[in-house]
Amino acid sequence: MKKIHEEQWNRFKANKRAYYSLYLFSFLFLISLFSELIANEKPLLIYFDGGFYCPFIKEYAETSFGGEFETTADYADPYVIELINAKGWIITPIIPFSYHTINYNLEGPAPAPPSRANWLGTDDRGRDVVARLLYGFRISVLFGLTLTLFSSAIGITAGAVQGYYGGTVDILGQRFIEIWSSLPTLFLLIILSSVVQPNFWWLLGITLLFGWMSLVSVVRAEFLRGRNFEYVTAAKALGLSDGRIIFRHVLPNAMVASITFMPFILGGSITTLTSLDFLGFGLPVGSPSLGELLAQGKANMQAPWLGISSFVVLSVMFSLLVFIGEGVRDAFDPRKVY
């Protein structure tokens, strides 16, 4: 690691709140990446009659365990469990429900309140809330990260080119962005999502199409300022090419502003997905989504665990992102000394 990055990392670590936020966020994200091992209706490992089975990877018919049907074994069925336990053992995940598993053994009507089986209750179709939050968190963060990555790449490039070259390039770019950003994004999204059946990539593409402008103005401003710095003139006098000047000398200045923005873009991307889901124009029906859970919370005021738990997950996620963003910004500021 280069010394300057080491110093930045040390400065970031010195900010305890940001450091622990990053730690916690990475931990949560890492856990959610392994959601299938934590919340799954299928057991992780079965020992039956001298052989090992991995139902969460491979499907087995009920007959493999001595049952009667040729269909896939239903591991929630007490009869199947009994069959397996007679000749072996089962390791089940901590939460024996996937995001789409419907718990038919509820004591009351869905949505069911928190119980020992469903820690945070179930939603109005009897699906476990914890499982849905876990998978929903994963898909939200993945969506946010991908969108942030692509929109930053496009936005920084556009801003850098406009700011560095200025003049006609800048004017044309700015007018295009003005027109493009005045398109009514939400209506277009709604119309587009009724034309195509939106999935993860469709949504990503559509939101990217209208969301890449957020960094342009910041980066452009930094480049307009930065291209007149004396060390940029010095670099020109050394005979450096435009590309190298942009990357080595001007971009690092713009990066502080961009990176400070990034956690907010990430937050904004997640908000976009959540609100689309909330309105019902987002991910396909049945996908785990925080927005959909929020909508359920709104529709089922008698079941506060829906609204409260999705609210807590969303607010914790956004707070962590803001704290991390703050820490990153301070760490990148060369003038800031702790």
Residues near other proteins (CB under 8 A) are: 3-4, 229-231, 233-241, 244, 248-249, 252-253, 334, 337-338
CB of 298: closest distance to other proteins in angstroms?
48
Compute φ and ψ for 52, nearest 5 degrees.
Answer: -100, 140
DSSP 3-state assignment of 237? helix
Q: Closer to other proteins at the Cβ: 24 or 240? A: 240
Amino acid letter at 105?
Answer: N
Q: Which is nearer to other proteins, 127 or 249 (CB)?
A: 249
Distance of alpha carbon 238 from alpha carbon 14, whole angstroms: 38
Least distance in angstroms from the C-beta of 230 to other proteins: 4
- Minimum Å distance from CB 201 to other proteins? 37
Length of the chain: 338
Nearest approach in angstroms of CB 6 to other proteins is 11
Q: Rounded to an integer, what distance in angstroms lies between the CA atom of residue 169 and that of residue 111?
A: 57
Nearer to other proteins, 59 or 242 (CB): 242
**39 or 156: whose CB is closer to other proteins?**
156
Q: How far apart are the first and last CA of the chain?
A: 21
| Cis status, amide bond into 111, omega within 30 of 0 | yes
Query: CB under 8 Å to 39, separation ≥6 — which residues?
Result: 93, 94, 95, 97, 98, 99, 128, 130, 131, 134, 135
Total H helices, total E strands in the chain: 14, 3
What gap in Å lies between CA 12 and CA 43, rounded to an integer? 41
Query: With respect to other proteins, which residue has the nearer C-beta, 168 or 197?
Result: 168
- Closest to other proteins by CB, 194 vs 233, is 233
Identify which of 324, 301, 164 has the alpha carbon closest to the alpha carbon of residue 245: 164
Q: How far is the CB of 291 from other proteins (least distance, A)?
A: 40
Return d(Cα 42, Cα 77) in angstroms, integer. 11
Report, in Å, the least distance between residue 218 CB and other proteins: 18
3/116 with CB nearer other proteins: 3
Least distance CB 134 / other proteins (angstroms): 40
